[in-house]
Structure 1
Amino acid sequence: MEASPNDRLHFGVMAFGCDHYNRRCQIRAPCCNEVFSCRHCHNESTSTLRNIYDRHELVRQDVKQVICSVCDTEQPVAQVCTNCGVNMGEYFCDICKFYDDNTAKEQFHCDDCGICRVGGRENFFHCKKCGSCYAIGLRNNHRCVEDSMRHHCPICYEYLFDSLKDTTVMKCGHTMHFECYHEMLKRDKFCCPICSRSVIDMSKTWQRMDEEIEATSMPSDYRDKKVWILCNDCNDTTEVNFHIIGQKCGHCRSYNTRAIGPPVLPQ
């Protein structure tokens, strides 16, 4: 019995594709004229080239031709194959030239980002200053840093804006991969790698340092010396008593400080 148009439209859903996406087409990369399953496959392939002058990334919006994985027909970008009628992606974006059968990701195109995102449009908003989509819970609840997502993760150095991995916004407003952030905390690193601000509440740690300093007397040669410090948390500059354990900011009471001069006796 001949398959109905609807059966043909959805033939082989989730049965074709690559490690990145389930889809029923391949793309012809306009930059090198080679055929790949998706742009990530292209970028991974070119990143391993020995000749650094041949390394390049595919611009998704530049794709003009796709090849149907069911009937092997090459054709201009469209959702439905012009030859066999199969739907080449249950989700399709004609701006990003993007296909994906796994609609459980709740893909949507953000005009401000200029690319497709996942997670459902209703769950995200676009922060124009930060330059990216963030979860609704961060609306009016994060420190804005201009174009904070258009940078590389400070830990793994992967570009954040179109990364497939989850990202997180730290208290300082800088961003990094969610897994990189937690790996950093596991290694007892509690400062932003970009601006050095504390990324979690350190008040209990500062209290323990208060107690340790009170119980630790300095040698007489250093007891009365003072030092100028810059606080990484509030950017205040103050002169404080020098102590080998740490210097406490006189403004915000943080020990996340650094000396900007040698310890000296007061005049």
Structure 2
Amino acid sequence: DICHLFDKDKKQYHCQPCGICRIGPKEKYFHCTKCNLCLATDLKDNHKCVENVSRQNCPVCMEDIHTSRIEAHVLPCGHLLHNYTLCMYVFLCSQIICNDCQAHCTVSFHVLGMKCSSCGSYNTAQDGGLIYP
């Protein structure tokens, strides 16, 4: 046994290609060599491979995904987000001002940008904090 862990009730296992111990059970996971991480077996032939995807930080919280104990969500594009960050931003809205038409709107929050509901431009800025609808 490579790893000497005392808490056996979580069914940890060592993944040699990852180089770290994972919380199991091992039978529910497989190592994708292209993505270079362990994924749930239901994703075996059902995910888009992105080379070394787990070696990147979560684009929302900027925390390391590979060594994190927080479960990651595989997006349709193949990239990963920590599950809690995905849930944290799903129902958030933001007040914005459009730099093109000067409209003030309340829109769904998005990490990359928010679309003006008046003219459709993404040339916007937050005009206040985040709002839970």
Alignment TM-score > 0.5, same fold: yes
**Who is 2:26 aligned against?**
121
State the 1:118 CA deviation. Answer: 0.9
**Who is 2:5 aligned against?**
100
**Structure 2 Cα separation of the partners of residues 99 and 157 of structure 1:** 30
State the 1:138 CA deviation. Answer: 0.8
Equivalent residue for 1:245, pick from 110, 116, 120: 120
**Who is 2:45 aligned against?**
140
Amino acid at match of 1:118: I
Q: Quick one: structure 1 residues 101 and 175, their matched pair in 2 at CA, closer, same or farther if it must change by over 3 Å?
A: same
State the 1:161 CA deviation. Answer: 0.5
Cα offsets for 1:171-199 (capped at 9, x unmatched) = 111101110111121223457x5xx9xxx
Cα offsets for 1:244-264 (capped at 9, x unmatched) = 236xxxxxxxxxxx79xxxxx
State the 1:124 CA deviation. Answer: 0.3
Aligned to 1:179, the other structure's residue is in SS state helix
Structure 1 segments, 4+ long, off by >4 Å, are none
Number of residue pairs the alignment of both structures matches: 105
Equivalent residue for 2:16, pick from 97, 100, 111: 111
Cα offsets for 1:206-259 (capped at 9, x unmatched) = xxxxxx9xxxxxxxxxxxxxxxxxxxxxxxxxxxxxx9236xxxxxxxxxxx79
State the 1:152 CA deviation. Answer: 0.8
**Structure 2 Cα separation of the partners of residues 151 and 137 of structure 1:** 23
State the 1:99 CA deviation. Answer: 3.2
**Structure 1 Cα separation of the partners of residues 31 and 54 of structure 2:** 12
Structure 1 alignment gaps of length 5 or more: 1-92, 197-211, 213-242, 247-257, 260-267
Q: Give percent identity, aligned residues only.
A: 33
State the 1:129 CA deviation. Answer: 1.1
**Who is 2:80 aligned against?**
175
Structure whose residues are more often helix by fraction: 1
Q: Quick one: structure 1 residues 156 and 107, their matched pair in 2 at CA, closer, same or farther if it must change by over 3 Å?
A: same
**Structure 2 Cα separation of the partners of residues 172 and 189 of structure 1:** 20
**Who is 1:184 aligned against?**
89
**TM-score, normalised via structure 2 length:** 0.68
What's the RMSD between the two structures over aligned residues?
Answer: 2.4
**Structure 2 Cα separation of the partners of residues 186 and 111 of structure 1:** 38
State the 1:156 CA deviation. Answer: 1.5
State the 1:101 CA deviation. Answer: 2.2
Structure whose residues are more often strand by fraction: 2
**Structure 2 Cα separation of the partners of residues 139 and 190 of structure 1:** 29
Cα offsets for 1:128-182 (capped at 9, x unmatched) = 1111000011111111111111111112211110111111111111101110111
